[in-house]
Amino acid sequence: MSELKFIDTEAGPIRDGILEDLENGVGDPLYPGDERRIFGEALAQVVVAVYNSVNDACRQKMLRYARGDVLDALGENRDTARLDPTFATTTLRFGVNEAVSHNIIIPARLRVTGDFIHYFLTDQTVVLYAGQLFVEVGATAEKGGADYNDAAIGELSQIVDLSDVALIDYVTNTEPTGGGGDQETDEAYRERIREAENRLSTAGPEKAYRYWALSSSPIVTDAVVESETERISRTLKTYAGHAFQGGANLIPESLAVYLPGGSEAVDGTDYTASYDDELLTLTLSGSLAAADEVKIEITRNMYGRVKIVPICAGGELPDEDVLEAVRRVCSADDVRPLTDIVQVEAPQVELYDIELTYYTTKANESEVVKNVEGPDGAINRYIYWQGSALDQEINPDELRKLILCPHWIENPIGATRVIITKPEYKELPSTTVAKFSGNINVQHVVKD
């Protein structure tokens, strides 16, 4: 898509135009070093800056260039507000080393932290009753955002408002913190505004359900919507070398026919199939020519039953809270067509290993090793890319590209050659996400 300009901001023509007007005004040529020329060149820089500011302001009227508050205003025009950040949660345990003879009140909104930067507040007032050693209560992050996620068990161990619970000996979180999401980014928000018109349909199209799924939470970054299917198995009686299965929405490409011994029959040798007017017809031959019955399996579409599979930022699998949020939004009476049944599921996971050898020269060894195996290197970038989206095959060529050409840095130095044994290319169902198994074997070879 070409860059849109409302005003020409090329510095050269603007500068030349100003100098030409000055020369015409004073009636003399302006040579380098002439103070009038120096003034004109300085003025040109100011004009270019102003033109760029005006051009940027004009371009922000367009959705593809808008950002910040301007993008929020465009979203309001389509009744699509930016998603607010969500708050991470956990469970806190307050306890004493020895039981005491009186109750201890743990007030609501008591602050607990592990680093005195990220604070969690108790959700409600609870009581540690006399004779008991601990009590647990839910807690929510003080602010929204993903920064409050992934505090390990036991990390939240400091009571900030200690005077409110002076007799408590310790506090700890009994589960990792999670569920926090940043405010919707400009790019994600822009894409959702583009899709806003899809929500107006009442026919239940894929794009409408996807729009509402992405609107359910800022941590939901992708979703696959598809009609449910059902795999059916039937044993059919044969009539004069033919067998029949009626039914709408059968998928002929999914047909499997079996021989009496249980092995799969060969299309074109043991049978031929046709599907017309909602009737599947098998013409039997070869090993099935004399069969009294034949077993088949076939998949059919379950129109009216919608399956939505969301995935979260960074490829995180959605927990039950996220799934429930998507289910609630997509099943609302003003979203879901009356005849649809909506099911929301977490993605299936396909694990893959990494095993490779890459080559470099001695002069570039340290730089190449950093670019391939470092924290921001090709392997970690590939793992993130591969696991962050649905409807995406396992593609080792993407890993190969990142290793040979680390394009995210200036003057990239990549490996001279790479042999990738694992992963192997594999197509995945649209609702399956590929995740790194943790098994990795990477070697590098230095060649002069």
Burial of 290 (0-12, 13-18, 19+ CB in 10 A): exposed
Residues 6+ apart with CB under 8 A from 109: 121, 122
Residues 6+ apart with CB under 8 A from 34: none
Each residue's pLDDT, cut to its tens digit, for the chain (448 residues) gives 567 788 888 888 888 888 888 888 888 888 888 888 899 889 989 999 999 999 888 888 888 888 888 998 888 888 888 988 999 999 999 999 999 999 999 999 999 999 999 999 999 999 999 999 999 999 999 999 999 999 999 999 999 988 888 889 999 999 999 989 888 888 888 888 887 766 655 555 778 888 899 988 888 989 999 887 888 999 999 999 999 999 888 999 999 999 998 899 999 999 999 999 889 999 999 999 999 999 999 999 887 788 999 999 888 899 999 999 999 999 988 788 877 889 999 999 999 999 999 999 999 999 999 999 999 999 999 999 999 989 899 999 999 999 999 988 888 899 999 999 999 999 999 999 999 999 999 999 998 7
Assign 189 to helix, strand or coil.
Answer: helix
Distance CA 297, CA 233 (A): 4
Give the 3-state DSSP-derived string for 251-295, with helices as H, strands as E and coil as C.
EEEEEEEECCCCCECCECCCEEEEEECCEEEEEECHHHCCCCEEE
Residue 59 has what pLDDT? 86
Residue 248 has what pLDDT? 84
Residues 6+ apart with CB under 8 A from 108: 121, 122, 123, 124, 125
**Is the sign of the CA dihedral 193, 197, 200, 206 positive or negative?**
negative
Give the 3-state DSSP-derived string for 96-141, with helices as H, strands as E and coil as C.
CCCCCCCCEEECCCCEEECCCCCEEEECCCEEECCCCCEEEEEEEE
Residue 58 has what pLDDT? 87
Q: Where are the domains of the chain?
A: 11-59, 89-173, 201-346, 348-446
Nearest by Cα to 43 from 20, 59, 68, 66: 20
Distance CA 127, CA 103 (A): 7
Q: How many residues in the chain?
A: 448
Distance CA 269, CA 276 (A): 21
DSSP state of 374: S
Residue 432 has what pLDDT? 94
CATH code that applies to domain 201-346: 2.60.40
Give the global pTM: 0.57
Distance CA 343, CA 443 (A): 45
The neighbouring-strand residues paired with 170 are 95
Distance CA 302, CA 230 (A): 7
